[in-house]
Amino acid sequence: MADTTLDVRSTAELGPKEVVDIMRERVKVFVVEQTCYYQEVDEKDDEAIHVMLRLDGELVGYTRIVPHDDGEHISFGRVLVPMQHRHNGYARQVVQATIDWIRANRPGESIKIQAQSYLQKFYESFGFKPVSDVYLEDNIPHLDMVMD
């Protein structure tokens, strides 16, 4: 695997081009590729922490860290690797970096995520445990998972 760089910043710390690059990739993956029409850019982006994995300046992995809707957990989502960079280990790398950032900056908080159900084993490999049955979110099967 080639050398990558990690960049973790709040929305307020991002430049305009970075915001556009992130949103372009998110819409490309979550709206166009998954044919899921929903409000992809939302109010959570105002206060989000963005975890960006880059290879030679190009975004190859991304997550955003936000408070969970239940108000009791921290969460992350919008986990993506652009299609042309998949199967290189970048998803595992950016998720681990996200967990590490949360552990360092929000010690003692449990992490609760809404995972697409086909990724259950992937998230279990980090220590997440399912805490719900599978349900439809924007017509895609999901389940809630927690890491204490």
Q: Per-residue pLDDT tens for 43-61?
A: 999 999 999 999 998 999 9
Contact 113, 76 (CB under 8 A): yes
Q: Per-residue pLDDT tens for 1-10?
A: 568 899 999 9
Summarize the confidence of residues 64-72 as an average pLDDT: 92
Kindly report the pTM of this predicted structure: 0.92
Question: Of 18, 2, 26, nearest to 81 (Cα)?
Answer: 26
Judging by DSSP bridges, how do beta strands 74-80 and 58-67 pair with one another?
antiparallel
CATH of 5-108, one of 3.40.50.700, 3.40.630.30, 3.40.50.2000, 3.30.930.10: 3.40.630.30
- For residue 110, pLDDT over 70 is answered with yes
Going by pLDDT thresholds of 50, 70 and 90, the confidence category of residue 130 is very high
The residue that leads in pLDDT, 137 or 130, is 130
Rg (CA), the chain: 15
Contact 112, 73 (CB under 8 A): yes
Contact 22, 52 (CB under 8 A): yes
Q: Per-residue pLDDT tens for 25-44?
A: 999 998 888 888 788 889 99
In whole angstroms, give the CA distance from residue 118 to residue 121.
Answer: 8
Tell the residue number behind the tokens 């996200």, with chain if given: 98
